[in-house]
Amino acid sequence: MTMEGASTLFRKEVLRFWKVAFQTIAAPVLTSVMYLVIFGHVLDQRAQPLPGVGYTSFLVPGLVMMSVLQNAFANSSSSLVQSKITGNLVFLLVTPLSHWAWYGAYVGAAMVRGLVVGLGVLVVTLWYAPLHLAQPLWIIAFALLGAAMLGSLGLVAGLWADKFDQMAAFQNFIIMPMTFLSGVFYSVHSLPGIWKTVSHLNPFFYMIDGFRTGFFGVGDIDPWVSLAVVGASYLVVAALALRLLSTGYKLRS
């Protein structure tokens, strides 16, 4: 019964964003393409962040991973906040679903949205900068782990927030700064000392660097170190999300 309920909730969450795919999928893809066109056009001949890698090619994996992370977070967080505001969360609370089922459904749907948007960005941007898959297993590993971690973080944020402006504050003051300080648009080796240190404290940096390594076979950090950092970060966030769900934090009041 729990598995059937979890799969039903998962399908409901996937259909929720798929019915407005123009907004939830097409719009983020267009935004990433605009980043590529603007930054790639301006800096392609002026910067070479990695040896033998043009700036536009360097930028594509970062934009793909950024899209995966931001959309995975947005899906789980917005779904919970919307359910709280509209009052339909009560229909889930009366079901016999365990906190594991809630977690699997919400995070699973968030991963689907993040990966679909990321794939869309990759397909479109390949017209501008063809890429080679040097180590595809790293691409898969970091894409899945990154989507799962941000889906879990979105679940935590959605449980904490009671209205959309709180959710927007979480995204604007936490998610966006961590994303833009993660090396999406630059190599962290080009940063001055203090900002390089800050970047190395940011788990988003390890996700994007490990993902980029899968395309070029080289990055700023050993991919095994990045995998360990991202894996540990995911376990912490997932444990927090499961704990909040098991206690009914801001769900039953």
For residue range 125-161, list pLDDT tens digits in order.
888 877 888 899 999 999 999 999 999 999 999 999 9
218 in a domain, yes or no?
Answer: yes
User: Does any domain span residue 177?
Assistant: yes
- Torsion, Cα of 194, 226, 74, 178 (10° steps): 0
Tokens representing 130 are 């063809």
Residue-level pLDDT at 211: 95
For residue 198, the enclosing domain spans: 2-247
| Cα-based torsion angle of the residue sequence 244, 248, 251, 253 in order, rounded to the nearest 10 degrees | -130
What pLDDT does 95 receive?
A: 85
To which residue do tokens 């969360």 refer? 89
Q: 45-49, 56-60, 225-229, 249-253: which has the minimum mean pLDDT?
A: 45-49
φ/ψ of 50, rounded to 5, equals -125, 145
Residue 193 within a domain: yes
Helix pair angle (203-216, 136-160), 10° resolution: 160
Residue 253 lies in a domain: no
Q: Please check the confidence at residue 45 and state whether its pLDDT lies above 70.
A: no
| pLDDT band at 90; cut points 50, 70, 90 | confident
Between residues 145 and 198, the one the model is more confident about: 145
Residues 183, 204: Cα–Cα separation, whole Å: 9
**pLDDT score, position 227:** 97
In a domain, 219, yes or no: yes
C-alpha dihedral sign at 219, 224, 227, 233: negative
Would you say residue 252 lies in a domain? Answer: no
Domain-embedded: residue 144: yes
pLDDT (0 to 100) of residue 203: 93
The number of distinct structural domains making up the chain is 1
Rounded Cα distance between 182 and 3, Å, is 37
Written as six digits, the tokens of 53 are 């890698």
